[in-house]
C-alpha cells in the first residue's frame, strides 16, 4: 500500500500536478498564470490569425521583386515593416499574456483619399500562367486580397480572446490593416486597376434616404 501511494506521488510530481506554474489555476490564489490565460477557442483563432500574418509577409517577400512602380514599391516596404512589428508584438503578447515590449503603432498612409468613380474600358483579367507574368496590377491585387482577409480574420479572432492584454493588442491593430488595404485600393484606383462603379443619382438618393434617426431617447427597459 505504501509503495502504491509513493508511486502515485511520483507520477503526480512528474506530470506537474504539484507545481502551481503548470496548473491552469493556482489553487492558493485562484488566478490563472498570465501565459496560460487563454481560452481554447482563442488559441485556435489566434493561431490561425498569426499563420495568416506569416503568409502575408511571405507573399510580400515573394512579390517584391516583380514590382515596377516606385510608389507601389515604397508602399509595400512600409507595409512589410509595420506588419513585422505588429506580428512580433502579437506573438509576445500571446506567449506571455503581458504587454509586449513593442507598443502598437498606428499606420499612417501616404496616399490621399480621393477615389475616381466610374468604369472605363479595360482588358479582362485572367489567371497568369507563369511568375514572369506578375506585374504591378497582379501583385497589388494579391496583396490587397490578403490585407482584407487578415483584417477580417483579426476581427473575428479578437472577439474570441479572453486575455485582456492580447485582446487590446489585437484590437488596436485592426484599424492598421484596414488603413493599409484602403491605401493600396486608392493606388489601384488611381492606376485604373480598381474601378468603382456608382448607382445612378435617383437610386443613390433613394437608398440614402431609406433610414431615419431613432426618436427613442431612453432604452425600452427603463
List the domain boundaries for the chain: 37-115+133-193
Give the domain 37-115+133-193 fold.
Answer: Ferritin (1.20.1260)
Provide the pLDDT for residue 168.
Answer: 93
Higher pLDDT, 52 or 8: 52
Cell of 142: 494579391
Provide the pLDDT for residue 22.
Answer: 44
User: Tens digit of pLDDT for each residue in 96-152?
Assistant: 888 898 887 899 988 788 899 999 888 888 999 999 999 999 999 999 999 999 999
- CB neighbours of residue 108 within 10 Å: 10
Q: Concatenate the DSSP letters of all residues of the chain into one string.
A: -HHHHHHHHHHHHHHTTT-GGGSSS-TTT----GGG---HHHHHHHHHHHHHHHHHHHHHHHHGGG---HHHHHHHHHHHHHHHHHHHHHHHHHHHSS--SS--------S--PPPBB----PPP---SSGGG--HHHHHHHHHHHHHHHHHHHHHHHTT---HHHHHHHHHHHHHHHHHHHHHHHHHHHTTSS-B----HHHHHHHHTS-------S-TT-
d(CA 105, CA 169): 10
Provide the pLDDT for residue 4.
Answer: 54
User: Tens digit of pLDDT for each residue in 47-85?
Assistant: 999 999 999 999 999 999 999 999 999 999 999 999 999
Whether 205 shows a pLDDT value over 50: the answer reads yes
> pLDDT band at residue 162, thresholds of 50, 70 and 90?
confident
Amino acid at each position: 500500500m505504501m509503495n502504491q501511494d509513493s508511486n502515485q506521488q511520483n507520477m503526480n510530481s512528474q506530470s506537474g500536478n504539484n507545481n502551481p506554474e503548470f496548473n491552469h489555476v493556482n489553487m492558493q490564489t485562484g488566478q490563472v498564470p498570465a501565459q496560460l490565460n487563454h481560452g481554447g477557442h482563442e488559441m485556435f483563432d489566434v493561431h490561425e490569425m498569426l499563420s495568416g500574418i506569416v503568409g502575408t509577409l511571405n507573399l510580400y517577400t515573394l512579390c517584391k521583386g516583380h514590382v515596377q512602380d516606385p510608389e507601389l514599391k515604397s508602399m509595400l516596404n512600409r507595409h512589410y515593416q509595420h506588419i513585422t512589428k505588429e506580428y512580433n508584438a502579437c506573438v509576445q503578447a500571446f506567449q506571455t499574456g503581458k504587454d509586449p515590449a513593442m507598443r502598437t503603432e498606428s499606420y499612417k498612409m501616404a496616399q490621399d483619399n480621393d477615389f475616381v468613380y466610374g468604369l472605363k474600358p479595360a482588358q479582362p483579367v485572367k489567371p497568369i500562367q507563369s511568375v514572369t507574368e506578375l506585374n504591378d496590377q497582379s501583385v497589388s491585387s494579391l496583396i490587397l486580397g490578403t490585407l482584407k482577409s487578415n483584417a477580417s480574420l483579426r476581427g473575428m479572432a479578437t472577439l474570441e480572446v479572453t486575455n485582456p492584454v492580447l485582446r487590446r493588442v489585437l484590437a488596436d491593430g485592426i484599424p492598421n490593416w484596414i488603413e493599409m488595404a484602403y491605401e493600396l485600393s486608392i493606388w489601384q484606383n488611381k492606376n485604373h486597376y480598381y474601378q468603382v462603379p456608382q448607382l445612378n443619382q435617383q437610386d443613390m438618393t433613394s437608398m440614402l434616404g431609406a433610414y431615419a434617426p431613432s426618436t427613442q431617447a431612453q432604452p425600452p427597459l427603463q
